[in-house]
Amino acid sequence: MIVIVDYNAGNLRSITKAVEIYTGRENVKVSKDPEEVLSGDKIVFPGVGNFKSAVLNLSKKEGRMSLRDALLESIKNKVPFLGICLGMHLLMESSEEGGNSKGLGVIEGSVIRFREVDKVPHMGWNSVELLKDIPLFEGIGSNQYFYFVHSYHVNPLDNDVVVGVSEYGYRFPCVIQKGNVYGTQFHPEKSSKIGLKVIENFLELI
């Protein structure tokens, strides 16, 4: 079962429809139940909105655990995990958004606002330069265009987790990987056929 995490952070319709193309509706569950998240064979962690509000929603206990607890346990159990946009930001230790709020701490580093650019948010199609070959981009060449909409970006301490970069005033990390955990700053579900290929590759991960 593919679990798409619902933590009141944006519209889930687009990512759900994109995943269902490859799995069928019966194999996709949108859930805010920590126990259901723990039962997922793969986890998609999307999000649009405010980092601090998202952290508060994730920390609320439902029964014996919170969504935060369930996500961290699933990652520890090496369940394939894809964080998208805010979902990728929340993997970091902290974010400037919302007054230096604490994230999940899966990846060392922070989330910072764009510096010295003409306009924020960064919105629209932009190319992604791949720095490494990873399964998430199987069959996808470097410098393909994906859809972005964001005012903040990740700033990992360890450059080894940075798989892809894009440019908006300066180069910034837009694809990360640490073991079974993947993150994309762009929205694959809104990035036409090339974005759907990213989703398909994630769903085929063993």
184 forms beta bridges with 84, 175
What distance in Å separates the CA atoms of residue 49 and residue 128, rounded to the nearest whole number?
A: 23
Just list the catalytic residues: 85, 187, 189
pLDDT band for 62, please (50, 70, 90 cuts): confident
How confident is the model over 35-63, as a mean pLDDT?
A: 92
Instruction: State residue 36's pLDDT score.
Output: 96
User: What's the pLDDT band for 101 if we cut at 50, 70, 90?
Assistant: confident
Q: How does pLDDT run across 147-194, given as a tens digit for each residue?
A: 999 999 999 999 999 999 999 999 999 999 999 999 999 999 999 999
Q: Report the distance separating Cα 32 and Cα 44, nearest Å.
A: 12
pLDDT over 90 at 196, yes or no = yes
Computed on alpha carbons and rounded to an integer, the radius of gyration of the chain in Å comes to 16
Identify residue 141 by its one-letter amino acid code: G
Rounded-to-integer distance, Cα 201 and Cα 161, Å: 19
The answer to whether residue 9 scores a pLDDT higher than 90 is: no
- Residue 133 makes CB contacts below 8 A (sequence gap 6+) with none
Average pLDDT over residues 128-145: 96
pLDDT at 103 over 90: yes
Beta-carbon contacts of 24 under 8 Å, excluding residues fewer than 6 positions away, are none
pLDDT at 42 over 90: yes
Q: Beta-carbon neighbour count of residue 61 at 10 Å?
A: 11
CATH of domain 2-203: 3.40.50.880
The ranges assigned to domains in the chain are 2-203
As a whole-number percent, the residues of the chain with pLDDT over 70 amount to: 100
Q: State yes or no: pLDDT of 63 exceeds 80.
A: no
